Amino acid sequence: MTVTVEDALTRWQPVVGMETHVELGTRSKMFCGCATEFGAEPNQQTCPVCLGLPGSLPVANEAAIRYTILIGLALNCSIASWCRFARKNYFYPDMPKNYQISQYDEPLCVDGWLDVQLGGEVHRIGIERVHLEEDTGKSLHVGGATGRIHGADFSLVDYNRAGIPLVEIVTRPDITSAALARAYVTELRDLVRAVGASDVKMEEGSLRCDVNVSLRPIDASALGTRAEVKNVNSLRSVERAVRHEIGRQATRLEAGERIVQETRHFHEDTGTTTSGRSKEEAQDYRYFPEPDLVPIAPDPAWVEELRASLPELPAARRQRLTAELGLSDADQLAMNNAGVLDLVLAAVEAGAPAADARNWWLGDLLARSNAADVDPAELGITPAQVARVCALVADGTLTATMAKDVFAGILETGDDPDTVVATKGLRQVSDVGALGTAVDDAIAALPDVAQKIRDGKVAAVGALVGAVMKSTRGQANAGVVKELVLQRLGVAPE
Amino acid sequence: MALTRDEVAHLARLSRLALSDDELDHFATQLDVILGAVARVSEVAADDIRPTSHSVPLTNVFRPDEVRPSLDPAASLAGAPAAEGGRFRVPRILGEEA
Amino acid sequence: MTDLTRLTAVEVARVVRDGEASAVDVAQAHLDRIAAVDDRVHAFLHVDTEGALAAARAVDEQRAAGEPLGPLAGVPLALKDVFTTRGVPTTCGSKILEGWRPPYDATVTRRLKDAGIVILGKTNMDEFAMGSSTENSAYGPTRNPWDLDRIPGGSGGGSSASLAAFMAPLAIGTDTGGSIRQPAAVTGTVGAKPTYGGVSRYGLVALASSLDQGGPCARTVLDAALLHEVIAGHDPLDSTSIDTPVPAVADAARRADVAGMRVGVVREFAGDGYQSGVQQRFTEAVDLLASLGADVVEVSCPHFDYALAAYYLILPSECSSNLARFDAMRFGLRVGDDGTRSAEEVMSLTRDDGFGDEVKRRIILGTYALSSGYYDAYYGQAQKVRTLITDDFTAAFERCDVLVSPTTPTTAFRIGERVDDPLAMYLADLCTIPSNLSGGAAMSVPCGLAPEDGLPVGLQVMAPALADDRMYRVAAAFEAAFAERSGAILEGVPAL
């Protein structure tokens, strides 16, 4: 009998903990000077150190340490006064030294929390630790039916990714639903971006989650046996993986079976998980302090300096934007997901009304970015230009349609808005004298409509306004035209 | 505390050494003697003694985040047992993926 | 004409500088000597004739152009095959690296080249520096020039033998538990282990990272000191490299005076297991130092008795991890890749085939010592013993400027004598290991021939970390006084 998730949730409480790996945005790798740029030719960004060649030695990247401490501080962690790297020993072809330089019982940051908002409530997720380690290479599996590792004939390894700094953020089992798991990762991603530690390009695999899920009876407190779902690499997948595990585990438990403590793999295509190797035969990683690297003892003054340098974090910013600008959570989420929130805020900073800036960046400008396949920030329109255009609309110089033409003009020529307005002659005509003839022409051309209006059917005025707009090629101020038409026909405005 | 042949076989698997039966027997005997000799460290190492992992009194040795030239991949691949398309070619990997 | 191979490094450098012989002549004379005797000694795994002559020519051209030459420019050197050399085979005495030509130079290699030193080739060693006899080389043992049936010490037996057989006036070794000092002692040559962190480990293929240290080998203390100054100094590529000025070891070697210095004799390094002739020469050496005005005292370092045990836990643990990278994937040997076997199987077959017995023993021992459930009892305890040994040194150096002991308990043993008894082999490093565990400096200088077998005996001089100059000062003073009394030891080495 398969138990559905909704049904399961009436009897079982999910208990979820997450281990999230984020590639840090350093220019060079964790322990050598090789570049970290995504998309290079295979093995172009490798050297004796990241290939693990005999005799090579690691030297830690200062920026990676700094970013990790910044993340730890933003997550309200304590920063270790003294800690070491450790070697995690296991053999795998994509790991050049057959040990990973990581941290074991002495992580750089411990005991913090992250407040996550979901459904109008704030959930505090405990952070157990934040530590630093190095990434592995990537294998391409060749042959076999599927192109997957299973059944492949051989593999081809590219070590460009090997040695890129990874920060691992481990929560306490405080996450109580699939939606909260997703909200946590979203919040974490925004926080890492906010402190400048990484761009977190999820599509490039720079954020990867391992999700630990167990169920306990809704009225009991003892934890159940957990399964660890590996390599969950998108926000949507996090939610799907947790939901799948809730259903799977409830089904087993209600059939009287036990949950095996094991590693499971998530499949994007089906949204399901399958068993990996069992933890019973788990590796013995033989951790020991890395003798090639000396201990890290962050100077307390440096840590305080970093704390003082922390930018406004996403949660605080959200509250402020709601209070100061009236941008709702839903709006902020939409802008954030579209990558325009910072642009909107910059436009507001430059004088644009928040609602107008939001509409432009989420509307016309986002559409243009999508059409050009670039990030909105790379489109070629600055927040200051948006603010200027908003001002020109507000003072009646431009109509909304004209404003779009101005943006098109900026993209075409690179000129500032005022220059585009001048060179394209995009100026709304509000002058009564200049519009009078056009209005008279329109009344003459559409006598039936004019009569209807005189007879009291004022709503018909739109047809005459439209005609004037057409004859002035959109440059007339529609409001002024309407008033003028009604005045000419001797009808009082509503 | 004796080191059994089975334990040696387990350790050999962990260390990726395909030891022959003869080697297993031979090493089990030798290692047991060696372990007996080195176990005497516990005679003096009391709880209140801090362990030494590094013999240099250094901390915080970092490099600035600067990109340095990488190796020419041709040079590293030239030393590889097998290479293909700019990548290291390795035998099929017994995956963790199901 | 002078036999260029009998000169010290200082003399060779002078001859080249003064134009009495070209660097190419010097290099050729040593290459000829290698060709004449190395089939019997087997000190070299690879002779880089072309590279050596090219480097010598560059020195000659520099001189011809009137450019200043470094203090050791044009002097030939034998490099232990554990340092990477770009484009030149580097095997570490192991089959698993047969034919590998590294794409980069070790920092030591680069500094030697920059100093105009002519690298003749790569010397034999116990596989991955594991051993005290060079019998563990996958390429056959090196023989002691004093007696070809005996071991030249290890792991750096190729380097020490090349000096004693006049194939090179300078050599480089590495010392994890005595691999520079013990070979120096049993071949009648000089070898120094600098303070840990004094010489960069970048490009030194690691045995035990927290213990390994490269250092100079020579026939005189001053030659060793000059070489020390070439290879030492801060290296940003090695996180454990010390960022302070190199002690003025060459000045100390020239000063060569012990008057008023306090010399401590370590009480624990005597008794059972010490050959009587070694004891005798050591006692005479201490008397000679006293006669030079040194203030000799006896000191006790009670935890040195536990050094060997701690060492044989720490070293295998680190080496089991360091040697994991030899896996047939990116470089070196690959065995059993028939298109059907998995990477895991190929790794295991390659490592079983490519590593020798001693390497496998230590990998398994280290894997055991680090495994969960045993870590605290073995690795953890050994690290505490390490603290106790360092504390013993600290206490002793409060009373003394340097400590002295025999370098090794016996003279060179016979080839084959200890191969089947690892524990007996390990005893050769009894006196040298404590300095590796503490990180201090130590060196061996010849102090005579044992009366019973006529083989060289070494005097070990130990100094605190960063005080390498002290040991050179004492060793040089001793060397001069000894030569004055008994003549240079290497005069007695057979002609081959």
Whether residue C83 contacts residue C204, with contact meaning beta carbons closer than 8 Å, is answered with yes
Residues of chain A contacting C205 with CB distance shorter than 8 Å:
54-55
Whether the per-residue pLDDT at A280 is higher than 50: the answer is no
Closest CB to B70 among A34, A60, A157: A34
Q: Given an 8 Å threshold on Cβ–Cβ distance, is A27 in contact with B68?
A: no
Taking 70 as the pLDDT cut, the residues of chain C under it are 1
Contact B96 A60 (CB under 8 A): no
- Greater confidence (A450 vs C91) lies with C91
Structure tokens that stand for A282 in this block: 């788990």
pLDDT at B98 over 50: no
Which of A373, A395, A25 lies closest to A196, judged by CA? A25
Residue A15 or residue A317, greater confidence? A15
pTM of the model: 0.89
ipTM field = 0.97
Residue C1 pLDDT: 63
Question: What pLDDT was estimated at residue B97?
Answer: 40
Cα–Cα distance for residue pair C462/C435, rounded to 1 Å: 7
Residue of chain C whose alpha carbon sits nearest to that of B87 = C330
Residues 4-63 of B with CB under 8 A from A: 14, 16, 53-54, 56, 58-63
Non-local CB neighbours of A175 within 8 Å, separated by 6+ positions: A14, A15, A16, A17, A18, A123, A125, A181, A184
From the CA of B22, how many Å to the nearest CA of chain C?
12
- Tell the residue number behind the tokens 């590294």, with chain if given: C102
A310 and chain B: CB distance < 8 Å anywhere? no
Residues of C in contact with A59 (CB under 8 A): 236-239
- B91 close contact with A: CB closer than 8 A: yes
CB proximity under 8 Å: A 353-382 to B:
none
Cα B71 to Cα A32, A46, A161, A284, distances in angstroms: 12, 6, 15, 34
CA distance A358 to A386: 10
Which of C103, C208, C343 is facing A48, going by the closest CB pair?
C103
pLDDT for A277 = 64
Residue C346 contacts B where some CB pair is shorter than 8 Å: yes
CB nearest B14 (choices: A263, A276, A284): A284
What is the 3-state secondary structure of C91-105?
A: CCCCHHHCCCCCCCC
Q: What is the pLDDT of residues A388-431, one digit of tens each?
A: 999 988 887 888 888 888 899 999 898 889 888 888 777 777 77
Mean pLDDT of chain A, nearest integer: 90
Task: Give yes or no for residue A372 having a pLDDT over 90.
Answer: no
Interface contact A55-C84, CB threshold 8 A: yes
What whole-number distance in Å separates Cα of residue A362 and Cα of residue A203?
22
pLDDT level of residue A222 (50, 70, 90 thresholds): confident
Q: Which pLDDT score is estimated for A494?
A: 56
Whether the bond into C155 is cis, omega within 30 of 0: yes
Per the CB < 8 Å rule, is A48 touching C237?
Answer: no
* DSSP characters over C261-317: -EEEEETTS-STT--HHHHHHHHHHHHHHHHTT-EEEEE--GGGGGHHHHHHHHHHH
Residue A149 touches partner B, C-beta closer than 8 Å: yes
Q: Would you call A283 an interface residue with chain C, using a CB distance cutoff of 8 Å?
A: no
Residue A266 has φ and ψ, to the nearest 5°, of -95, 135
Residues of C labelled as active-site residues = 80, 155, 179
Best-predicted range by mean pLDDT among A260-274, A317-331, A419-433, C225-239? Answer: C225-239
Helix, strand, or coil (residue C163): helix
Distance of CA B37 to the CA centre of its chain: 22
Chain A residues in contact with B58 (beta carbon < 8 A):
294
Q: Would the CB atoms of B55 and C371 count as touching at under 8 Å?
A: no
User: Would you say residue A453 has pLDDT above 70?
Assistant: yes
C303 touches chain B (CB under 8 A): yes
CB-count burial class (<10 Å; 0-12, 13-18, 19+) for C289: buried
Is a pLDDT exceeding 90 seen at residue A149?
Answer: no
Q: A367 Cβ partners below 8 Å, 6+ apart?
A: none
For residue B22, give how far its alpha carbon lies from the nearest alpha carbon of chain A (Å).
25
Q: For residue A231, what pLDDT is reported?
A: 85
The CA–CA distances, whole Å, from B64 to A64, A101, A149 equal 10, 19, 37
Contact yes or no for C443/C486 (Cβ under 8 A): no
**Lowest mean pLDDT, pick from A34-43, A310-319, C316-325, C389-398:** A310-319
> What's the pLDDT at A347?
92
Distance CA A270, CA A263 (A): 18
Residues in chain A with CB shorter than 8 Å from the CB of B56 are 294
**Token representation of residue A28:** 């060079």
